[in-house]
Amino acid sequence: MIAPIIDEIADAKVGVLKVGKVDVDQNQAVAARYGIRAIPTIILFKNGEVKEQIVGMVSKNDLLAKIEAVL
Is the Cβ–Cβ distance between 56 and 40 less than 8 Å? Answer: yes
> Which has the closest alpha carbon to 70: 19, 21, 34?
19
Q: Where are the domains of the chain?
A: 3-70
> Which has the closest alpha carbon to 67: 22, 28, 19?
19
Please state the rounded mean pLDDT for residues 51-56: 96
- Helix H or strand E segment including 31: helix 28-33
pLDDT at 51: 97
Measured distance CA(28)–CA(22) in Å, rounded:
10
pLDDT at 1: 85
11-46 pLDDT, tens digit each: 999 999 999 999 999 999 999 999 999 999 999 999
**Residues 6+ away with beta carbon under 8 Å from 21:** 3, 6
pTM attached to this predicted model = 0.89
| Domain covering 3-70 in this structure, CATH number | 3.40.30.10
pLDDT at 60: 95
pLDDT band at residue 67, thresholds of 50, 70 and 90?
very high
